[in-house]
């Protein structure tokens, strides 16, 4: 065997192994489609390694050449199918995948005939290399059109994604681009273009980059966490709606009865005897306020896209309302600094409410013996200059700081890792993972700093159009 053959075998084995790891991490449509794509890519590389090994006879080389191109036939549809699932594209685009598989299946019917690969012949340093037949040209067209379109979708998504998701897409794009460049260059010699096949030597970089992305960037981590979380929120919404109907009517009745009793007793009895009724009315009003806020908190957006102009100060105030009793009980003081001209931001109101409620609950848990919770909101602007054009990007920055127990550097590294928690009996390790996911879904960014025994600071950035948006 030569160096090219060994490179291909390494790529084949590692690609299949990474696909199995990905499937264990994510046993859903994305993981399964990645496995299918990887099987075809690994199959192509394995048979290509045998064909270019220079140690086999003509008949064996012709057979492996046809087998490798049979595997390659299904790389374009499986590749685009995986990209669509990973990016979560529309159902309209998904409809093209079955047609691509049918197209490949029709060509596959000729895969062991001279119409597809008629012969193998010496090309460059190899004793045997595939030559294209008439049907092969249809495969070539499909391969390059579909592959390029898949990368177009990835690059387009890079422009709108932020944070972890953007890093994942970037890593996936770089890794697969290297693999496709190395493999696509093998088309050239068959069409009479004498081109060195050094690309086969760089394709082992693909499994290295993919392994890094899977392990360090969380690429192909389970999407079931957020799916289950969304189902839980839907159930919570139904329960809240039921509670609202069951509690509001009795509260309204009690409120009216207390008002009537106070009105009837005024001027007839000592005011000190009426005072308990007045206190009862105050608490009934508070319970009414609680039920009203609970109904509004997490209420679905009225827009189709669930993205609307949101008053972030109102969202923070609502989230604080639900933890105010705990704040008092734990002797936690609140410092809020909000400018008067703070603009609204583009976000999903329900998701934003959940983000802040999670962060405030984490701050409370970090200050069991009391402390200070600081919330600072600011508007910043960044000036962009490109080809003589000047544009200004505005951001709302929210800084949440507690004076709690803080974290070590090692804990800080894993703070957004799913299922990582220090609260073994109580926590699931999903709170901050979900917070980060929701912030990034709203095209925001979240950063965290922490010092052990000194406290933790979360900084959130959200886009807005202008200071007067």
Whether 301 is in a domain gets the answer no
pLDDT of residue 239: 53
pLDDT of residue 70: 94
Confidence of residue 333 (pLDDT cuts 50, 70, 90): very high
Do residue 317 and residue 400 come from a single domain? yes
Q: Give the residue from 222, 238, 256 where a domain finishes.
A: 222
Going by C-beta distance under 8 Å and a sequence separation of 6 or more, which residues neighbour residue 60? Answer: 50
Strands (E), 103-199: 120-123, 126-130
DSSP secondary structure code for residue 343 in this structure:
P
pLDDT of residue 357: 86
DSSP secondary structure code for residue 62 in this structure:
H
What average pLDDT does range 92-118 have in this prediction?
94
Q: Give the residue from 222, 257, 282 where a domain finishes.
A: 222
pLDDT of residue 176: 92
Which range has the top average pLDDT, 16-20, 269-273, 419-423, 456-460? 456-460
Whether 149 is in a domain gets the answer yes
* d(C-alpha 85, C-alpha 82), whole Å: 5
**3 state DSSP class of 77:** helix
- Does the pTM surpass 0.75? The reply is no
* d(C-alpha 357, C-alpha 319), whole Å: 5
* d(C-alpha 236, C-alpha 354), whole Å: 12
* d(C-alpha 165, C-alpha 188), whole Å: 35
What average pLDDT does range 439-455 have in this prediction?
87
Do residue 174 and residue 272 come from a single domain? no
* d(C-alpha 427, C-alpha 400), whole Å: 21
Do residue 406 and residue 426 come from a single domain? yes
Provide the domain limits for residue 350: 308-464
Instruction: Look at residue 247 and tell me whether its pLDDT is greater than 70.
Output: no
178 and 203 in contact (C-beta within 8 Å)?
yes
Q: Give the residue from 296, 319, 345 where a domain finishes.
A: 296
Instruction: Look at residue 245 and tell me whether its pLDDT is greater than 70.
Output: no
Phi, psi at 447, each rounded to 5°: -130, 155
pLDDT of residue 434: 78
pLDDT of residue 276: 72
Number of domains forming the structure of the chain: 3
Confidence of residue 361 (pLDDT cuts 50, 70, 90): confident
Do residue 217 and residue 328 come from a single domain? no
What average pLDDT does range 384-410 have in this prediction?
78
Do residue 312 and residue 349 come from a single domain? yes
**3 state DSSP class of 129:** strand
To the nearest whole number, what is the mean pLDDT of the chain? 81
Would you state the structure tokens that stand for residue 73, as one six-digit string? 């036939």
Instruction: Look at residue 315 and tell me whether its pLDDT is greater than 70.
Output: yes
Per the model's pLDDT, the better-predicted residue between 296 and 169 turns out to be 169
pLDDT of residue 329: 84
| CB atoms inside a 10 Å sphere around CB 331 | 10
Do residue 47 and residue 98 come from a single domain? yes
Instruction: Look at residue 66 and tell me whether its pLDDT is greater than 90.
Output: yes
Instruction: Look at residue 428 and tell me whether its pLDDT is greater than 50.
Output: no
Phi, psi at 87, each rounded to 5°: -85, -15
Whether 398 is in a domain gets the answer yes
pLDDT of residue 324: 82
User: Among 291, 288, 335, which residue's Cα sits nearest to residue 316?
Assistant: 335
pLDDT of residue 425: 47
Do residue 233 and residue 209 come from a single domain? no
CATH code for the domain in which residue 214 is found:
1.20.1070.10
pLDDT of residue 246: 59
Whether 383 is in a domain gets the answer yes
What average pLDDT does range 109-125 have in this prediction?
91
CATH code for the domain in which residue 357 is found:
3.30.565.10
Per the model's pLDDT, the better-predicted residue between 142 and 230 turns out to be 142
Whether 290 is in a domain gets the answer yes
Do residue 26 and residue 174 come from a single domain? yes
pLDDT of residue 107: 95
Whether 59 is in a domain gets the answer yes
Instruction: Look at residue 65 and tell me whether its pLDDT is greater than 90.
Output: yes
Do residue 284 and residue 325 come from a single domain? no
pLDDT of residue 36: 92
Confidence of residue 220 (pLDDT cuts 50, 70, 90): low
Which range has the top average pLDDT, 48-57, 96-105, 332-341? 96-105
pLDDT of residue 284: 72
Which range has the top average pLDDT, 45-49, 204-208, 271-275? 45-49
DSSP states of 416-467 as a string? TSTT--S-TTT--S-HHHHHHHHHHHTT-EEEEEEETTTEEEEEEEEEES-T
Instruction: Look at residue 275 and tell me whether its pLDDT is greater than 60.
Output: yes
Do residue 74 and residue 135 come from a single domain? yes
| CB atoms inside a 10 Å sphere around CB 98 | 11
Instruction: Look at residue 298 and tell me whether its pLDDT is greater than 60.
Output: no
Do residue 322 and residue 441 come from a single domain? yes
* d(C-alpha 34, C-alpha 22), whole Å: 8
Per the model's pLDDT, the better-predicted residue between 323 and 279 turns out to be 323
Do residue 350 and residue 457 come from a single domain? yes
| Span of 5-14, 25-34, 85-94, 219-228 with lowest mean pLDDT | 219-228
Whether 469 is in a domain gets the answer no
Whether 303 is in a domain gets the answer no
């Amino acid at each position: 065997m030569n160096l090219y053959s060994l490179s291909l075998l390494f790529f084949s084995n590692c690609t299949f192994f990474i696909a199995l790891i990905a499937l264990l991490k994510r046993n859903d449509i994305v993981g399964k489609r990645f496995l299918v794509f990887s099987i075809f890519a690994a199959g192509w590389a394995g048979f290509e390694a045998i064909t270019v090994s220079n140690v086999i006879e003509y008949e064996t080389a012709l057979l492996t050449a046809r087998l490798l191109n049979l595997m390659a036939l299904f790389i374009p549809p499986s590749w685009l199918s995986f990209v669509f699932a990973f990016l979560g594209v529309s159902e309209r685009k998904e409809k093209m995948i079955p047609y691509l598989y049918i197209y490949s299946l029709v060509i596959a019917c000729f895969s062991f005939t001279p119409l597809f690969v008629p012969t193998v012949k010496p090309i460059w340093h190899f004793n045997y290399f595939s030559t294209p037949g008439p049907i092969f040209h249809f495969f070539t067209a499909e391969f390059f059109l579909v592959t390029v379109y898949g990368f177009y979708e990835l690059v387009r998504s890079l422009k709108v994604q932020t944070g972890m998701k953007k890093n994942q897409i970037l890593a996936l794009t770089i890794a697969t681009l290297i693999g496709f460049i190395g493999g696509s260059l093998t088309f050239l010699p068959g069409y009479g273009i004498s081109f060195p096949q050094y690309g086969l030597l760089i394709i082992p970089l693909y499994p290295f980059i993919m392994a890094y992305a899977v392990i360090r960037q969380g690429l192909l981590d389970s999407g079931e966490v957020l799916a289950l979380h969304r189902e839980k929120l839907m159930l919570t919404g139904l329960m809240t709606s039921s509670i609202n109907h069951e509690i509001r009517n009795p509260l309204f009745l009690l409120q009216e009865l207390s008002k009537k009793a106070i009105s009837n007793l005024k001027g007839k009895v000592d005011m000190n005897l009426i005072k308990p009724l007045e206190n009862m009315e105050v608490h009934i009003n508070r319970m009414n306020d609680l039920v009203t806020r609970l109904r509004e908190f997490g209420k679905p957006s009225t827009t189709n896209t669930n993205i609307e102009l949101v008053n972030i100060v109102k969202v923070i105030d609502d989230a604080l309302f639900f933890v105010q009793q705990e704040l008092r009980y734990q002797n936690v003081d609140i410092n809020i600094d909000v400018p008067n001209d703070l603009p609204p931001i583009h976000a999903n109101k329900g998701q934003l409410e959940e983000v802040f409620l999670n962060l405030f609950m984490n701050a409370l848990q970090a200050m069991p013996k009391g402390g200070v919770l600081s919330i600072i909101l600011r508007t910043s602007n960044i000036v962009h200059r490109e080809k003589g054009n000047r544009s200004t990007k505005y951001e709302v920055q929210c800084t949440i700081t507690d004076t709690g127990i803080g974290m070590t550097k090692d804990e800080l590294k894993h703070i957004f890792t799913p299922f990582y928690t220090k609260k073994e009996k109580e926590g699931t390790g999903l709170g901050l993972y979900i917070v980060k996911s929701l912030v990034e879904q709203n095209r925001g960014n979240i950063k965290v700093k922490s010092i052990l025994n000194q406290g933790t600071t979360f900084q959130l950035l959200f886009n807005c159009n202008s200071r007067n948006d």
